């Protein structure tokens, strides 16, 4: 460890975190992934293998990945609030030293939070990967006239406006999903991973050849079976996912069928539907898709009916 970093950490140990923590270095992505998240999972769960606590590996791993995800979301919300604060400060800026100081401090906090959120997103994503490695399951877890206003545009306000514009661009980029939707559903007891991976690889390649576009996968976020495997495939291929959660409290038993309607909404214009086996909900999805003129590909489970 470099002397400057060691000295900074000694300061924390002696005096606790202060405003100077903004000057502390943030580890690079490789360190975040390999030396922090993976080592944490290994240290916490590795020794439980082959013991009477082995059954606790899945919930502990899920809890750790969820903790990082929740913290990332909380920090992202704070980042948005800080951007709103900067926006408010630019509007109310009166040229005084107090206004200038408050605006500069808000910008410093914004820049610090932006770097922290980026690091936490790396850790959160890696934790989801570690969960899948440890368990073999997919992790299913944004006054005055024009002249007088211009006259008050100090350097801090100019920089603040640039920060806000950049924040808006980054938020839009994070929220935007490129490509065409491909809906995937199927049996909750499906176990043939290779068949799903191979099938989706072929479907993806065909769509890329015929439409020259990438796909993104739409599913209901099932924790078992075909949808879980499809989510793992999308993560492995670096493909975006859109999860449609059934709203049980609002729709009761009809919630999965309402999800089918949402995924098939005309504004999404899905490229097709792939069903790996399935139950009544999957059959309903396939029928509704065909009624809309959407191509449906049905894949039978080769293990069904075998003794």
Q: Is 8 helix (H, G, I), strand (E, B) or coil?
A: helix
Whether the CA torsion 213, 219, 222, 224 is positive or negative: it is: negative
Across the chain, mean pLDDT equals 79
Question: DSSP secondary structure string, 109-134?
Answer: HHHHHHHHHHHHHHHHHHHHHHHHHH
Q: What is the structure's pLDDT at 132? A: 85
Residues 199-210 have pLDDT tens digits of 999 999 999 998
Q: What is the structure's pLDDT at 107? A: 82
Q: Determine the average pLDDT of the residues in 92-106.
A: 76
Q: What is the structure's pLDDT at 226? A: 92
Residues 199-240 have pLDDT tens digits of 999 999 999 998 888 888 999 888 889 999 999 999 899 888
Q: Flag whether pLDDT at 271 surpasses 90.
A: no
Range name among 1-5, 197-201, 227-231, 288-292 with the lowest pLDDT average: 1-5
Q: Flag whether pLDDT at 76 surpasses 60.
A: yes
Q: Determine the average pLDDT of the residues in 107-123.
A: 88
Show contacts of 104-113: CB within 8 Å, 24+ apart: 104/156, 106/82, 106/160, 107/156, 107/159, 107/160, 107/163, 108/22, 109/22, 109/82, 110/79, 110/82, 110/83, 110/86, 110/163, 110/167, 111/163, 112/22, 113/75, 113/78, 113/79, 113/82
Estimate to the nearest angstrom the gap between the alpha carbon of 198 and the chain centroid. 25
Quick one: tokens of 37?
């998240």
Q: Is 299 helix (H, G, I), strand (E, B) or coil?
A: strand
68: Cβ contacts below 8 Å, ≥ 6 apart = 37, 120, 123, 124, 127
β-strand partners of 123 = none
Q: What is the structure's pLDDT at 274? A: 95
Q: Determine the average pLDDT of the residues in 32-49.
A: 87
Phi, psi of 162 (to 5 degrees): -65, -40
Q: What is the structure's pLDDT at 193? A: 93
């Amino acid at each position: 460890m470099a002397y400057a970093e060691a000295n900074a950490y000694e300061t924390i140990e002696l005096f606790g975190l202060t405003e100077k923590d903004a000057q502390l270095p943030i580890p690079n992505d490789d360190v975040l992934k390999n030396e922090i998240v993976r080592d944490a999972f290994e240290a916490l769960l590795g020794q439980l293998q082959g013991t009477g606590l082995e059954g606790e590996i899945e919930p502990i791993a899920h809890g750790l990945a969820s903790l990082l995800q929740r913290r990332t979301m909380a920090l992202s919300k704070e980042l948005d609030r800080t951007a709103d604060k900067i926006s408010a400060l630019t509007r109310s800026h009166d040229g005084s030293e107090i206004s200038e100081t408050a605006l500069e401090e808000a910008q410093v906090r914004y820049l610090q939070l932006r770097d922290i959120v980026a690091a936490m997103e790396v850790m959160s994503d890696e934790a989801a990967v570690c969960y899948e490695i440890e368990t073999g399951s997919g992790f299913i877890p944004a006054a005055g006239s024009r002249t007088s206003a211009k006259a008050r545009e100090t350097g801090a306000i100019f920089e603040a406006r640039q920060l806000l514009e950049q924040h808006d661009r980054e938020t839009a980029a994070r929220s935007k999903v490129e490509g065409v939707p491909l809906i995937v559903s199927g049996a909750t007891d499906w176990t043939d991973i290779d068949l799903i991976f191979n099938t989706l690889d072929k479907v993806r390649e065909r769509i890329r050849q015929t439409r020259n576009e990438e796909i993104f996968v739409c599913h209901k976020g099932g924790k078992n079976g075909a949808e879980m495997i499809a989510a793992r495939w999308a993560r492995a291929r670096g493909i975006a996912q859109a999860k449609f959660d059934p709203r049980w409290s609002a729709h009761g038993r009809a919630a999965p069928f309402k999800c089918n309607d949402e995924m098939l909404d005309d504004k999404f214009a899905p490229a097709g539907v792939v069903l790996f086996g399935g139950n009544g909900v999957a059959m309903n999805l396939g029928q509704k898709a065909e009624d809309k003129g959407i191509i449906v590909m049905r894949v039978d489970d080769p293990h069904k009916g075998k003794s």
